Amino acid sequence: MDAGTSAGDLHDKHASSKQIPVYYHLIVLSRKETFIVEPLDAPLAELLSFVTRHEHGRMKHARMSQFYESTLHIPDSIRDNETVGAGLSSWVHRLDAVAKCYTSDDGKAKDREIAVYERLGSCKAGWRKTILQYYGVLNGCVVLQFAHHGPIRQYLRSSQHDPPLFIKLRWAEQATDAISFLHSKGVLHCDISCNNIFLDSNLNAMVGDFAGSSIDKEQCLGWYETSHSYPNTEDPSEKSEIFALGSTFYEILAGKKPFEGRDDVEIEQAFKRGHFPSLEPLLALKTTILNCWTGKYQTTDELLQDVKQEVRAQSEPLLSNEHHPPHHLVDQIIKTTVKTLACAQEWRDGIQTRVGGQEDNRRAVSSIPE
Ligand SMILES: Nc1ncnc2c1ncn2[C@@H]1O[C@H](COP(=O)(O)OP(=O)(O)OP(=O)(O)O)[C@@H](O)[C@H]1O
Ligand SMILES: [Mg+2]
């Protein structure tokens, strides 16, 4: 596809795709009102029965004059977006987007980024939620989902934000999921870092910035930051990506890059000698990060399993703490329960005595202890 012509590209490109779901919608024109029945994944007969029911209900006094059956093309990328309105010839969806416009003159970075987004979208119906949403090309700029909280690095360095551990672990899992998905599509990111993982309004992490990526082992146009670079290699591979993910997890948990403050040559030398920053102060993922740095994982899927396991292990004690009341409350509950049982016993004995003595047990019932 031509990388940058007009806004029309946005529509035409997606509309011609075979993966686009086709919805039926029915426009019902009556004398008084026009109803547009919500698009439904339903056979026409069902829609007609809906309208008939509708007519006998709300539209009792309106005479239905016309039915229109038409199709509505909604690109996958905006399928879940809010519908702000609908008319006879269109449905209008809301985009919360940015336009990424490129500085380089040769256009390689832009073309590469577009090629990656096309590759990720063209193989699968529906979009991977851990990848920034791509909407197409607008006058040469790439239109992408707006990430409300910007990149993770920016978010962590803002003094107002210190997210809880479970959020940080979720970012690690979402980033790994995204990279594993990229790899399954033949793409190597080549610049994985907290600077290229973005946060939406619910603090979900999404990987973006594919301007330097490699597709099908083609040369990559960018490279990892030194603190994220697998030593002794100039070719990207799943191992170099996993190394960079290790450094990314480190930054998420430590709030700073590995060996931050040291110069690049020093960092490179340290990595070559197999020296890494201490993982002791980290609250989680210590073994996983070390395994990333020391080349223990063959694939990102393997890494993803470990990250998921750690996320589960960390959330279990968290959950059980939430459901266990503090000790002093437990003591109080036990004392109250014992007292209640004693009262209940007393009350039962009382009934038995009174019933045995021909007394009306309704009176006994009225003396149930509080
Ligand atoms: N979808 C987005 N939502 C919000 N902010 C964004 C988005 N995309 C980019 N940004 C902002 O613009 C900056 C640059 O974007 P991006 O990383 O895609 O381009 P880049 O030119 O490759 O940058 P870098 O060289 O720093 O990696 C990001 O660090 C971020 O602050
Ligand atoms: Mg970037």
Which atom of ligand 1 is the closest one to the Cα of 154? 31
Length of the chain: 370
pTM of the model: 0.72
More reliable by pLDDT, 127 or 298? 298
Distance from the CA of 244 to the center of ligand 2, in angstroms?
14
- Residues 227, 191: Cα–Cα separation, whole Å: 11
Q: Name residues with Cβ closer than 5 Å to ligand 2, which is an ion.
A: 196, 209
Query: In terms of C-beta density within 10 A (0-12 exposed, 13-18 middle, 19 or more buried), how is residue 248 classed?
Result: buried
Spans of all domains in the chain: 20-89, 150-319
DSSP run (H or E) holding 202: none
Nearest listed ligand to the Cα of residue 100: 1
pLDDT in tens, 199-258: 999 999 999 999 999 999 999 999 999 999 999 898 999 999 999 999 999 999 999 999
What pLDDT, on the 0 to 100 scale, is given for residue 31? 43
| pLDDT reading at 18 higher than 80 | no
Band of pLDDT at residue 45, cut at 50, 70 and 90 = low
Distance from the CA of 189 to the center of ligand 2, in angstroms?
11
* Residue 252 contacts residue 152 (beta carbons within 8 Å): yes
Band of pLDDT at residue 40, cut at 50, 70 and 90 = very low
Average pLDDT over every residue of 107-129: 83
Select from 1.10.150.20, 1.10.10.1800, 1.10.10.10, 1.10.510.10 the CATH code of 150-319. Answer: 1.10.510.10
What pLDDT, on the 0 to 100 scale, is given for residue 316? 64
Average pLDDT over every residue of 85-101: 84
| Exposure b/e, 205-221, CB count within 10 A at least 16 = b | bbbbbbbbbbbeeeebb
Distance from the CA of 323 to the center of ligand 2, in angstroms?
41
From the centroid of its chain, how far is CA 342? 53
The overall average pLDDT reported for the chain is: 77
- Residues 352, 212: Cα–Cα separation, whole Å: 86
Nearest listed ligand to the Cα of residue 209: 1
- Residues 321, 318: Cα–Cα separation, whole Å: 5
Percent of the chain residues topping a pLDDT of 90: 54
pLDDT in tens, 247-280: 999 999 999 999 999 999 999 999 999 999 999 9
Distance from the CA of 152 to the center of ligand 2, in angstroms?
11
Nearest listed ligand to the Cα of residue 133: 1
Lowest mean per-residue pLDDT among 55-69, 254-268, 283-297? 55-69
- Residues 79, 87: Cα–Cα separation, whole Å: 17
Lowest mean per-residue pLDDT among 20-34, 268-282, 334-348? 20-34
Distance from the CA of 218 to the center of ligand 1, in angstroms?
23
Ligand 1 neighbours by CB, cut-off 6 Å? 98, 100, 132, 144-147, 150-151, 154, 195-196, 198, 208-209, 211
